Amino acid sequence: MKTKNHTPRQKPEASVVDAPRAVLFDAYGTLFDVYSVGELAEQLFPGHGQALSVLWRDKQIEYTRLVTTCNNGARYQPFWELTRAALIYAIKRIVGPTHPAGINAIFDTEIDRLLNQYRHLSAFPENRQVLIDLKARGIVTGVLSNAEPTMLDMAVRSAGFEGLLDHVLSVDTVRKYKTHPDAYALGEQATGLPASQIVFVSSNTWDSLGATWYGYQTLWVNRYHLPFEELGTYPTRTGSNLRDVLNFFPTTPLSFN
């Protein structure tokens, strides 16, 4: 459900002390449209495609939190395994009770097709040009994602982003998912910059909030006109698409001598 009745408050510009020198993007939901699988889901399960894609995503994120917070991460599983588990759960819950052949009859072919589609998610249309513009301005760019390296590599190549990202960072190296601070720390470690000099960009409210709490300057890309989290902290800026990240940087190449 969409609503336009709540607009997140902006942090005053005076609160931003450091000029940003790098930008890191969340991958799934920000660079890649996680709901683009909905069309195939609808073909496979008529009348259930949208609900299935939404529950799949929600359960996927829920699983990342479970395996990170329980037993101090001892239950960690790679993002691809959680993605598959979340899909199976979503099919069982939404499609299973109504499928005429029973739930076991749909597990193999349909799951494989949807997972293959997830490996090649559509990128939002403006994203590649934004990455090109950032590189032209001399900005360090990267991805900081919950996905493991092989999954990210396939998504980046499929979207045509090769050569446009200086860093492709996976939380798999620390075995803790965002919003754990060890996950966000990867951005500082890779760039050699403090979080205050890095813009973190996400379409996910929870990710934007976690990155802001960690210390990043943040852009929340609010594509669907949703309210932000009501926990007293707001992103540095809010935009409607990825082009809004360009407003953090001057139009000429930067020099940090």
Residue 166 a catalytic site member: no
Of the residues 26, 33, 172, 207, which is catalytic? 26
Strands 22-25 and 198-202: parallel
Q: Closest Cα partner for 121 from 229, 33, 16, 46? A: 33
Could you list the beta-strand ranges (E) of the chain: 22-25, 140-145, 167-170, 198-202, 217-221, 237-239
Report residue 23: phi and psi, to 5°: -135, 135
Q: Closest Cα partner for 96 from 115, 80, 110? A: 110
Residues taking part in catalysis: 26
